[in-house]
Amino acid sequence: MPQPRVTTAMKQPDAEPLAPIPVNPAYPLPGSIARPEYGPGEREALIDEIRQLLREKDAVLVAHYYTDEDLQMIADETGGTVADSLEMARFGNRHPASTLVVAGVRFMGETAKILNPEKRVLMPTLEAECSLDLGCPPEKFIPFCDAHPERTVVVYANTCAAVKARADWVVTSSIAVDVVNHLKDKGEKILWAPDRYLGSYVKRVTGADMLLWQASCIVHERFKASALQNLAERYPDAAILVHPESPEAVIEMADVVGSTTQLIKAAQRLPNQRFIVATDNGIFYKMKQAAPDKVFMEAPSAGEGATCESCAHCPWMAMNHLRNLAEVLRNGDNEIHVPEDIRKQALKSTQRMVDFVAEQR
């Protein structure tokens, strides 16, 4: 059966003279977001084997909150980490293991390699993409930057190494506002890529002069403000937590807007007993650990009568599971390689982010 294709037309960046036209690449989505079905005893056997292989291979598991809860559980139990994309990037530097196994999407493995060239970086699959990364191909992005030499180029971590190499700064959602405020205070004008929703959120909050690339996250852009409004009316006691990759109308309804870690902390900190959460539902595993007595509900990701491709779960994150994690540890396949010239260039903008965070804390 042919794979569904993303057909949403990508709008042009805010009109400015010289802007070349970024064309939305059509790309296939991976198949199912369902967890694999395991045979009797298979899950337990795989978990035992993975624990043992991590020890034997001097490897540590670095998992994102959106991955399968078995992977998050193993990362926690074996001294790895479950984190947002910023902390995933920072973790490898601090940990002595010679191999980082990154469970997430490809840009996360590449970021780990950019920052840790001496380490082997493996991923359960090299096919886990991100629509933001795919929506910002370097062959379109680099000429776009070249056409706006007066702007400081700030890119979201959800980009490939070649795009990071063209950027002045890399940011994640947890520090985007702080970095842009810092640049604005220095009088800099910004070219932002690739997420248009996060970009326009940062622009509204900071008032900075930002030219926005127009890619989007296929998971977060599906959250629907009108259906969220209906749900919020049924549960007026619920606090609404929103990841800033969501559309503006959804962000406007939020009690807290933040990165995945910031949303988990808010669930713990706020007095509410009930939360409506507009981000990937993989986050519920950690939210429930952080606030076991509270109730978490998915924000609606399809309006009345609409269909939903992602259903609040990233289809690429869902490609990580116990079978391919065990397989990569057995065989050492799926190693991330970044050409050294690109890596060195991408290190400048990525290290700038890491140093900025270290100075802030």
Minimal CA–CA distance to 96: which of 109, 82, 83, 80?
80
Rounded Cα distance between 337 and 117, Å, is: 9
Under the binding rule (CB under 6 A), the answer on residue 72 touching ligand 13P is: no
Under the binding rule (CB under 6 A), the answer on residue 130 touching ligand SF4 is: yes
Piece in contact with ligand 13P (CB under 6 A), picked from 21-29, 38-46, 82-90, 294-302: 82-90
* Minimum distance, C-beta of residue 299 to ligand SF4, in the bound complex (Å): 14
* Of 152, 172, 301, 324, the one binding ligand 13P by CB under 6 A: 172
Under the binding rule (CB under 6 A), the answer on residue 133 touching ligand 13P is: no
Nearer to ligand 13P by C-beta: 47 or 264?
264
Q: Are 274 and 237 in contact (CB under 8 A)?
A: yes
End-to-end CA distance of the chain: 51
Give the bridge partners for 103, in sequence order.
63
Give the bridge partners for 193, in sequence order.
155
Q: Which does 218 bind (CB under 5 to 8 A by kind): ligand 13P, ligand SF4, none?
A: ligand SF4
Distances (CA, A) of 266 to 19, 261, 281, 347: 39, 9, 16, 32
- Three-class SS state of 205: helix
Residue 41 CB-half CA count within 13 A: 0
* Minimum distance, C-beta of residue 316 to ligand SF4, in the bound complex (Å): 5
Piece in contact with ligand SF4 (CB under 6 A), picked from 24-32, 119-127, 247-255, 314-322: 314-322
In one-letter notation, the amino acid at residue 319 is: M
* Of 61, 62, 105, 250, the one binding ligand SF4 by CB under 6 A: 105
* Of 81, 99, 152, 158, the one binding ligand SF4 by CB under 6 A: 158
User: Residues in the site for ligand SF4, rule: CB under 6 A?
Assistant: 105, 130-132, 158, 217-219, 245, 280, 314, 316-317
